Chain A
Amino acid sequence: DTEVTQTPKHLVMGMTNKKSLKCEQHMGHRAMYWYKQKAKKPPELMFVYSYEKLSINESVPSRFSPECPNSSLLNLHLHALQPEDSALYLCASSSPRLGSTDTQYFGPGTRLTVL
């Protein structure tokens, strides 16, 4: 099973709202990622959690707040977003062990629209 699930599939929010995106995997992977993807562009890394600790923050604005409650779950808390934050948010997971492929498996994404 190489499935990463994400909820919700679509989200529309106002600039004053607080919402959360959720991601789950049951592959035993110990690294989880958030990427942001604008239309017709490749994904851009936002955050990496490795063994439930934040290991990479790609200078993401503080209105995006990641959380990794356990090794299977990854959340992205959203607050006071701007219309330019509208995008597809993709979660991925991998197993970064020496000698392994560290292949990243992606979820279906959450399409976020900020009004």
Chain B
Amino acid sequence: RKEVEQDPGPFNVPEGATVAFNCTYSNSASQSFFWYRQDCRKEPKLLMSVYSSGNEDGRFTAQLNRASQYISLLIRDSKLSDSATYLCVVNRNSGNTPLVFGKGTRLSVIA
């Protein structure tokens, strides 16, 4: 089983739509969880950290279920500029340890 698994998509949605991405991770020792965004041929950029209580940043909402080892990202009112690959990321263990990346979910928002 891969350490971090995501549906690769692509998800093609119209502007204004709500879209949700899911991710599962295999290492129960992981302590930190993130969603990164990566545009074509660019480096990943941190979108948001994911906390156990769930957290929201504008149109983006992230949820974590430790028991199921499941992470989600919800994007409301999609914009054309949201088109990118969204990477589910966990750290390998606690502390400042390497990040493990999912393959990413490709989102295309269409006018």
A associates with B: no
